[in-house]
Chain A
Amino acid sequence: MSTIAPQSGSRSHGGAAYRPSTWRRVQSWIAGHVVMFSALLVLVYLFIPVAYTFVFSFNNYRKSNIVWNPQGSPTLKHWKDPCGAPGVCDALVTSLEIGAIATLVATILGTMLAFALVRHQFRGKAASNLLVFIPMATPEIVLGASLLTLFVQGFSRFGLRLGFWTIVIAHIMFCISFVVVTVKARLQSLDPRLEEAAQDLYAGPGSTFWKVTFPLVLPGIVGAALLAFSLSFDDFIITNFVSGNETTFPKFVYVSYLRGIPAQANVIGFSMFVLALLLVIAGTLVNNIRKPKV
């Protein structure tokens, strides 16, 4: 407010000339902070169930972790023994493994597709773009149902059972499209003159790619991989269709819901959240403070 004070002082001398600008400043100050304030509220809204999860990881409950047990004081016992509930850690490990494999494969395949779609001229490009787009426009339940049909009717004769690998296959499939659009956007915003400049400076096709194109597209690829991993790790609907007896972390939570979700799941869910947050924040910080190499 102090910035406005001198102006309101001068108004008494200068007449009404200052009024519009002062008023507009107040207006824009409010407008600017209203936006920021509501953005923060939305973020808080996003975090409410995460906070709930966190709080209930300390619940000293008797039968099921649904209501806070007023008798039992908060306990750390679930944090001390996060694998205490049968199956929860296996499910987590399965989810992480599936996420890692699916992310790796989908990122590679999707990046290759993105390069071809942006950098190469070929017939059927529009159709190819459509083929990449449609999986994103298909409800997960349809994807899951169709894959289940394929695995049960088409692939069982090859000895492919529902389980770990069918989940991996399905996750790769729906992650590819997201990788393609992410990497494509990055590639399209890349100035083609940078690659020309590299060629002009004696870099052949190989060095041009590895020294200029790839480093510049890398943030897009990393972002795509991060997104793919998040989508895979969090997927439930498709997974539920194609998982057979295999249990991923979301499926574990869903299945145990009727009996009551063990607090260990809260511990793990919240830890994963913090881990993801810290990893990326650390990555950003390292990126920012890394001294330019000599």
Chain B
Amino acid sequence: MALLEVKDLKVRVEEREILHGLTLTVNEGEIHAIMGPNGSGKSTLSHVIAGKPGYEVTDGEILFKGEDLLAMAPNERAAKGVFLAFQYPVEIPGVSTMNFLRTALNAQRKARGESEYSTPDFLKKVREVSKSLNIPQDMLKRGVNVGFSGGEKKRNEVLQMALFEPSLCILDEMDSGLDIDALRIAADGVNALHSPKRAMVVITHYQRLLNYIVPDVVHVMSNGRVVKSGGKELALELEASGYAQFEDAA
């Protein structure tokens, strides 16, 4: 069943059109990779799906589980199961990671009409997840992402993903800034979440990540559109020949 349907999406930022009619369908259980040159609109797409303000959708639609995603506030999207691991996670001084995680998780559960986690249950869950991602407990006492290294910030995004158990995970350059070991750990974390009901959209510049997280479909984005889609071999092709062949098509 289609989880995410982006249909002919046109998006402007500050009077400039960035996405020029983008179409993308992601089914439950699938892993999609999106590759494409700098500035082709990959992060823009992920932000529009997550509901970041400042983007004007001038045409097209986004359906999530058949519902109009663009009509929902960002927090409603999160509660429905949309998760974006940011390319550049922000630092939030003064808000402890632990407090943030609990508040966010319980807000999502409340919105879905589920009971909130008790403190011991929550702590147990965080401990399990952070252990599997090799995140030390004392990091969770610090302000959200404050003083985290680039790689730690990315791991903190994967931690949240594991904790919130979303049905659509969009990972925007999860691999940038990660060393090889951290990459493997984070990728293992992502793979552990893979399930027949959950879909992943992995935005990356490097085919290397796709050795760990193996995609069902690879899309090439150029100049605000998906210009080619194919199997995982498409990523290898891109690695060899670059994006030049697509610039004209776009």
| B and A form one assembly | no
